[in-house]
Amino acid sequence: MIKSLKIKERLVFPALLPDRGNIIDLTLSRDMRDRIALTQKEMADTKFECVTKDGKAQYKWDDTKDTGTEIDFSDAEMVFLRSQIDIFDKAGSITPEMLELCLLLRDS
């Protein structure tokens, strides 16, 4: 299933993935993490930068140049992502930053 993800969604995406798990889950996670990574060209085109403010890293980019990147998720990856979203939802752990990505992935 092809989804168009903008930079913000791709930065939030790793928060949905587990830190630990079985081999299959972690392999799926690694493969998705590799595919959503920002390329050097995207960073240059959108003037992507990391700035430190009050001791916190913040990312900035030209959102008008972020047209989204199409990511092709397998059926197994979508089942996995929906189960991860369900876990976060039941635990009340979805943050405002995660909401749009969760809705995009869950409702497709």
Enumerate residues 6+ apart whose C-beta is below 8 A from 60: 47, 48, 49, 50, 51
| Model pLDDT, residue 107 | 87
Residue 70: count other Cβ atoms within 10 Å of its Cβ: 9
Q: How confident is the model at residue 93 (pLDDT cuts 50, 70, 90)?
A: very high
Mean pLDDT computed over 73-95: 96
Output the pTM of the full model: 0.88
Residue 83: count other Cβ atoms within 10 Å of its Cβ: 11
Residue 95: count other Cβ atoms within 10 Å of its Cβ: 10
64 pLDDT more than 90: yes
Q: What are phi and psi of 4, to 5 degrees?
A: -95, 115
Q: Do the Cβ atoms of 98 and 88 come closer than 8 Å? A: yes
15-44 pLDDT tens trace: 999 999 999 999 999 999 999 999 999 999
78 pLDDT more than 80: yes
Mean pLDDT computed over 86-102: 96
| Model pLDDT, residue 77 | 96
